[in-house]
């Protein structure tokens, strides 16, 4: 026991233990910084692609980019951000009675959730979401008709044009209509 408390051993062990602790802390912080940068880049793409749904926007590429980014949210977003994104998408459905103000509120809630997630700088270790909650989305221009059989085969439903704050091209989701 005395050999573990000797000056020579302590001169070696204390710096070694300090170095190991410093290395572990450094690696943890590096991982957090990389995760933050990845989230920031993905969230930036998601927010920028929302322009495709502004009134008067006819940019199918932006709309498809939003759908792609929304699918990627399942890899890096918190459960709260995914829930807010799904609520926003629900307000876009033609059968939705959501007013323009409610759609704006859903969009604002999504942006707020993104901001909160970025500012928390937390890595998402666990989720309560299940695969059943994932919806496959795609863009279907209003001039393309998709019959019921094709919808079932492709799990995509064509959408009608809407006069709401969304544009004329629409999202299609498994068995659901979105403006």
- pLDDT tier at 156, thresholds 50, 70, 90: very low
The pLDDT score that the predictor gives to residue 173 is 44
Is 79 domain-assigned?
A: yes
pTM above 0.95, yes or no: no
Count up the domains in the chain and report the number: 1
Write the DSSP string, 2-30.
GGGSSHHHHHHHHHHHHHHHHHHHHHHHH
Q: How many CB atoms lie within 10 A of CB 92?
A: 23
Q: Does residue 139 register a pLDDT over 70?
A: no
Encode pLDDT of 6-63 as tens digits.
Answer: 888 888 889 999 999 999 999 999 988 888 888 899 899 999 988 887 777 777 888 8
SS3 177: strand
Residue 25: which residues within 8 A CB-CB, separation 6 or more? none
Cβ-based burial of 170 (10 A; exposed 0-12, middle 13-18, buried ≥19): buried
- The distance of Cα 130 from the centroid of its chain, to the nearest Å, equals 15
Is 142 domain-assigned?
A: no
Nearest to 66 by CA among 150, 156, 167: 167
Is 149 domain-assigned?
A: no
The pLDDT score that the predictor gives to residue 152 is 42
- pLDDT tier at 1, thresholds 50, 70, 90: low
Is 109 domain-assigned?
A: yes
Is 110 domain-assigned?
A: yes
Is 71 domain-assigned?
A: yes
Is 175 domain-assigned?
A: no
Greater confidence (81 vs 177) lies with: 81
SS3 139: strand
Is 54 domain-assigned?
A: yes
Q: Does residue 122 register a pLDDT over 80?
A: no
Write the DSSP string, 54-84.
STT---HHHHHHHHHHHHHHHHH--HHHHHH
Number of H helices, E strands in the chain: 5, 3
Nearest to 92 by CA among 151, 130, 52, 46: 52
CA–CA dist 72, 64 (Å, integer): 12
The pLDDT score that the predictor gives to residue 149 is 46
Q: Does residue 162 register a pLDDT over 60?
A: no
The pLDDT score that the predictor gives to residue 115 is 94
Identify the domain containing residue 35 by its residue range. 2-128
- pLDDT tier at 138, thresholds 50, 70, 90: low
């Amino acid at each position: 026991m005395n050999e573990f408390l000797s000056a020579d051993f302590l001169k070696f062990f204390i710096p070694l233990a300090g170095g190991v602790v410093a290395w572990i802390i450094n690696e943890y912080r590096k991982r957090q910084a990389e995760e933050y940068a990845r989230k920031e880049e993905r969230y930036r793409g998601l927010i920028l692609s929302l322009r495709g749904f502004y009134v008067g926007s006819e940019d199918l590429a932006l709309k498809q980019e939003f759908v792609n980014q929304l699918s990627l949210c399942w890899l890096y977003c918190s459960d709260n951000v995914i829930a807010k994104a799904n609520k926003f998408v629900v307000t876009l459905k033609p059968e939705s009675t959501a007013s323009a103000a409610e759609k704006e509120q859903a969009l604002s809630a999504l942006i707020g959730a993104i901001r909160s997630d970025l500012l928390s700088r937390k890595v998402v270790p666990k989720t309560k979401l299940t695969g059943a909650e994932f919806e496959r989305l795609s863009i279907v221009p209003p001039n393309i008709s998709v019959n019921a059989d094709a919808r079932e085969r492709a799990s995509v439903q064509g959408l009608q044009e809407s006069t709401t704050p969304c544009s004329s091209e629409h999202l299609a989701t498994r068995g659901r209509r979105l403006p």
